[in-house]
Chains A and B, each alone.
Chain A
Amino acid sequence: MSRILVVDDELAIQRLVSAVLARDGHAAVVVGTARAALAEIDRLAPDAAIIDLGLPDRDGLELIAAMRSRLSIPMLVLSARDATSEKIAALDLGADDYVTKPFDGDELLARLRSALRRAGAAPARDAVVRHKGIAVDRGRHKVSMDGRDIALTPREFAVLAALVEAGGRVLTHGAILERVWGRAHVGDVEYLRIVIRALRLKLEIDPSQPLLIRNEPGIGYRMGG
């Protein structure tokens, strides 16, 4: 269905990821180095990329930044590095999502699907963006759920709009805080926590077992699928 660039130097992982991608009908194009990846992207024109961080010639974070400056395709990080700081760095440099090894094949495919869906959708020009039953009307600053209007404060609206626009993609705490509160408040995670709570109280069926707004520990939030 889609052509996916896989950047990983380990043969066994290359084969495994190719096999997993084949389950969803994707064609994997495998390269082992960052240099090869950069040399090939123009010719290959992939629909998405899956990138390991521990590459032999360059750090994967550098590759992400270099690729993001040239392409707008979805990029997923697939790495054995599980430090929170690395995940945040990858996301802030332009990666769309992050999966740690050992990974679940189905999870990788689901994340890839969500990233491709978002990339394929017309750039969110419409006034109304949707996720599941939630409709966020950016023109009129209104939110409805299953047709029922929901009253939100301006901050709640802004946070929800950011998450819904991102689809299932994870947004880092810093990214949301900067967009909604401004650069000065990038470190004030508690502001965000309080607003997320308020949103859950208004949107979730059981706010103590949230399904819609999901937390990635130490990293950020995403809309649940």
Chain B
Amino acid sequence: MRRAGLLRDYAIAAATVAAVTVATLHWPGTLGLPSAALLLLLPVLLVSARGGIGPSLFAAAAAALAYNFFLLPPQFTLRIHGADNAVSFIVLFAVALVTSRLATALKARERQAQQEAQASAETAKLAALMSGQEDLNAALAKGLVFIEGRQGATRIVSREAMPKDDPAFGPLDLSAAAWAIHNGDMAGHGTNIFPSADWTFLPLGQRGAADVDVVAVARPLQGTRPPPGALRAQVALLAQTRDRLILQEERRERRMLEERDTLRRTLIASLAHDFRSPVTVLRGELEALRLESPAADRALAQAQRLSRKMDDLIGIARIEGGAVRPAPEPVDLVDVVTGALEASGAATAELRIARHVAADLPLVSADPVLLRHVLINLIDNAARHARAMIGIAADEGRGSVVLTVTDDGPGIPEGEEEAIFDRFVRLEGSDRSGGSGLGLAIVKGFCQAMDIDVQASTRASGGACFTLTFPVFGATPS
């Protein structure tokens, strides 16, 4: 088709040059050489305007030769005499050359504009197709079918699983795919990177964003792909759609999580309220009865224990629900130890308490309410295992403050130092009376939430030792 068109252009060039030459030779009257040269420009312009650098140059050469041979004296030779004649020959050739170049460029630009308009119409069609999509996989599948119908077979290559066993991809293709994934830019056929690959790989993500999945588009069976701008735009559109849908999905999930979180918090709050009110009444009534009956006194002690366990249960629910939000502030360990010991008064009444917490230790960073609960639980645990004594000591370490709670009980069985913090673990032989198995789990949970390190060990002298390591509060006040 194109070849036939080209031949016709050459024929036209030859025919018009011949016609003009003949017409000039047989001009009635006399025609000056400059006019003859101008007349010979006409076929060159005509052929150039039709486009094609070859026919234009052929026309220019033919016109120049015809001028030289038939018209320039000495006629019927290719020799040139005189400067004027040489100049007119050269100008004729130059004009022919420039005109043909200009016309050809114009034609090419026109063709390109047409292609671009077509491509953007296609892209707009794809955009319309994508805008209605709500499901990620369906949207991608539709988009790929669209591209396949216009550009060639498509695949998606996941950045996690290179298709090494896929016979469609040769080693060169795999290298191009890896490059595209790693650099977030297109590679393979039709690009400057691995141009001899059989596929073109386009990143399915923001341009330049590394480590993204890529779309592979097969090279056309015949010829080469037109400039890949349109393809790039279409794949970018797919990427946009994918990002939008992923974002939508994330937002939906987040909303669901938030709702679940709110529900959980409400549950914990109402749990707390629903338990506390009856226990309050129970304790209050027993308190009133205590004066009259020793049984009421014992019942009151149990009611107090119940409310302590209830606090543990609510604490565990908060840890489980991720509802522990520590509000750290500079804390004086003297305050926390004093408060916790007072709250544990009944449990420790028959024990000796060795307390070494200096009044001038650095302040530590912790949530005072959570830390108080942690200490109460550690003291409670020590009181249940101690024979006669509990020790509470704080020391300054390197950039930290270390608080230990010790007892003179049987200690922790070897190898159980971690497990002791698990929920509902009550170590054999070490459980004398009514731990819920939750106390130490809360210690661990709250400490983790506050970034405080907690360790359990057995002292050389026997007896358990729980060690809390606090970060020192940073600023020194003026």
Contact = CB atoms under 8 A, between A and B. Distances in A.
A218 B359 contact: no
A215 B332 contact: yes
Interface in B442-478: 473, 475, 477-478
A110 interface: no
A207 interface: yes
B414 interface: no
A13 B358 contact: no
B61 interface: no
Contacts of A210: 334-335, 338
A196 B285 contact: no
B346 to A, nearest CB: 12
B369 A217 contact: yes
Interface string B348-385: 00000001011110010001110110000000000000
A209 B330 CA distance: 19
Contact of B288 (A19, A102, A103, A193): A19
Most chain A CB inside 10 Å of its own CB: which residue of B278, B281, B367, B372 = B281
Contacts of A39: none
B287 interface: yes
Given A102-B307, A194-B477, A215 B281 contact: no
B90 interface: no
Contacts of B372: 217
A58 interface: no
A196 B331 CA distance: 12
Interface string B259-290: 00000000000001100111111111101100
B357 A12 contact: no
A12 B282 CA distance: 10
Given A12-B277, A209-B355, A84 B284 contact: no
Contacts of B332: 193, 196-197, 215
Given A84-B369, A188-B477, A193-B363, A209 B338 contact: yes
Contacts of A101: 276-277, 279-280
B273 A54 contact: yes
Contacts of A189: 329-330
A190 B334 contact: no
B357 A208 contact: yes
B360 A102 contact: no
B280 A16 contact: yes
Contact of A13 (B280, B359, B368, B478): B280
A197 B476 CA distance: 14
B358 A208 contact: yes
Interface string A181-225: 000000011110110110011000001111000110110000000
Contacts of B336: 217
Given A215-B339, A217-B369, A207 B276 contact: no
B359 A201 contact: yes
A17 B276 CA distance: 15
Contacts of B329: 189, 218
Nearest to B285: A16
B108 interface: no
B404 to A, nearest CB: 16
B327 interface: yes
Q: How large is the interface on A (under 10, 10 to 19, 20 to 34, 35 or more residues)?
A: 35 or more
A40 interface: no
Most chain B CB inside 10 Å of its own CB: which residue of A13, A20, A209, A217 = A217
Contacts of A56: none
Contacts of B368: 215, 217-218
A149 interface: no
Given A103-B280, A215-B332, A80 B360 contact: no
Nearest to A82: B272
A157 B477 CA distance: 18
Given A197-B332, A218-B329, A102 B359 contact: no
B360 A190 contact: no
A10 interface: yes
Contact of A215 (B273, B276, B338, B478): B338
B392 to A, nearest CB: 11
Contacts of B273: 54, 80-81
Nearest to A215: B335
A25 interface: no
Nearest to B359: A207
A208 B277 contact: no
Contacts of B331: 193
A105 interface: yes
Interface string B128-159: 00000000000000000000000000000000
Interface in A77-111: 80-82, 84, 101-106
A193 B473 CA distance: 12
Interface string A25-61: 0000000000000000000000000000010000000
A185 to B, nearest CB: 10
Contacts of B357: 208
Contact of B279 (A54, A102, A190): A102
A13 B277 contact: yes
Contacts of B280: 13, 16, 80, 101-103
Contacts of A16: 280-281, 284-285
B262 to A, nearest CB: 16
Nearest to A80: B276
A142 to B, nearest CB: 24
B232 to A, nearest CB: 53
Nearest to B365: A190
Contacts of A102: 276, 279-280, 282-284, 307
A208 B363 CA distance: 14
The 3 A-B residue pairs whose C-beta atoms are closest, nearest first, are A215-B335, A217-B368, A207-B359
5 contacts: A103-B283, A104-B287, A190-B477, A208-B359, A215-B332
Given A217-B368, A217-B372, 15 more contacts: A12-B281, A23-B288, A80-B276, A81-B273, A102-B276, A102-B284, A104-B283, A189-B330, A193-B330, A196-B332, A200-B359, A208-B355, A209-B334, A209-B338, A218-B367
Interface of B: 272-273, 276-285, 287-288, 307, 327, 329-332, 334-336, 338-339, 355, 357-360, 363, 367-369, 371-372, 473, 475, 477-478
Interface of A: 10, 12-13, 16-17, 19-20, 23, 54, 80-82, 84, 101-106, 188-191, 193-194, 196-197, 200-201, 207-210, 214-215, 217-218
